[in-house]
């Protein structure tokens, strides 16, 4: 009889333990559901903020690059920064449009001069987002631009420099690129030595 009572008491203890574990699991489930709902809401907020940020970036960058292209070329490409989802990541496609034709391969479509202008404008756009030091040093950035467009490119650089408050120090051997420079320093190399003189 004592053994039977002990077994009943033991089974009651096990049942009480199982009931307590069930209650703990229910509480844990409620906490996990709440955490899941909060995570879902947070993800939705992040997606909304991300979309708005992408929209603002797209406008700012596209506008600057398109303006740079139109200030140099008579029949320019328009530029669009297009955000797309690939491989569970957001990526940006650089799209150039002219006469309703789109390309992401500007060098083979328009040539090196257009790529020079677009890449310069993209560098300026990225700088304007980060706003680091107001100085940019560029070396032979427009070497593929045709001679008849160099003065327009020089004007464009001057305008961007003035509007954004950025000092641009440029190395160039192209005479048309120095038309709008505030200061020109000519460097010559003779007899194993370099000489600099202001023009």
- Domain range 42-198, CATH architecture: 3-Layer(aba) Sandwich (3.40)
**Which element (helix H / strand E) includes 90?**
strand 89-98
The answer to whether 61 and 125 have CB atoms below 8 angstroms apart is: yes
Separation of CA 126 from chain center: 7
- 3-class DSSP assignment, residue 76: coil
Q: Higher model confidence: residue 64 or residue 130?
A: 64
Q: Residue 168: pLDDT band by 50, 70, 90 thresholds?
A: very high
Q: In this predicted structure, what is the pLDDT of residue 1?
A: 59
Cα 34 to Cα 54: distance, rounded to the nearest angstrom: 30
Total count of residues recorded for the chain: 199
Higher pLDDT, 132 or 83: 83
Annotated domain spans of the chain: 42-198
Q: Please list the residues that pair with 62 across neighbouring strands.
A: none
d(CA 113, CA 115) in angstroms, rounded, equals 5
What values do phi and psi take at 139, rounded to 5?
-120, 115
For residue 143, the 8-state DSSP code is T
> In 10 A of CB 184, how many CB atoms?
11
Q: Is the pTM of this model over 0.75?
A: no
Contact 118, 69 (CB under 8 A): yes
Of the two residues 25 and 4, the one the predictor is more confident about is 25
CB 127 within 8 A of CB 166: yes
* CA angle, 42 then 47 then 50, to 5°: 120
Distance CA 113, CA 174 (A): 13
Mean pLDDT of the chain: 88
Do 20 and 12 meet the contact criterion of CB atoms below 8 Å apart? no
Q: Is the pLDDT at 4 greater than 80, yes or no?
A: no
Q: Which 8-state DSSP code applies to residue 184?
A: -
């Amino acid at each position: 009889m004592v053994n039977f009572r002990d077994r009943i008491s033991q089974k009651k203890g096990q049942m009480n333990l199982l009931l307590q574990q069930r209650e703990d699991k229910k509480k844990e489930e409620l906490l996990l559901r709440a955490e899941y709902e909060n995570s879902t809401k947070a993800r939705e907020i992040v997606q909304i903020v991300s979309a708005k940020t992408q929209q603002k970036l797209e406008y700012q960058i596209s506008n600057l690059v398109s303006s740079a292209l139109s200030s140099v070329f008579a029949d320019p490409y328009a530029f669009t920064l297009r955000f797309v989802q690939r491989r569970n990541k957001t990526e940006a496609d650089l799209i150039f449009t002219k006469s309703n034709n789109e390309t992401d391969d500007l060098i083979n479509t328009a040539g090196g001069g257009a790529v020079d202008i677009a890449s310069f404008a993209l560098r300026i756009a990225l700088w304007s987002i980060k706003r680091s030091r107001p100085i940019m040093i560029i070396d032979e950035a427009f070497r593929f631009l045709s001679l008849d467009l160099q003065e327009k490119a020089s004007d464009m650089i001057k305008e961007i420099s003035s509007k954004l408050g950025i000092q641009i120090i440029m190395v160039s051997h192209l005479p048309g690129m120095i038309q709008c420079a505030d200061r020109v320093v000519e460097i010559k190399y003779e007899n194993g030595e370099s000489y600099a003189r202001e023009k």
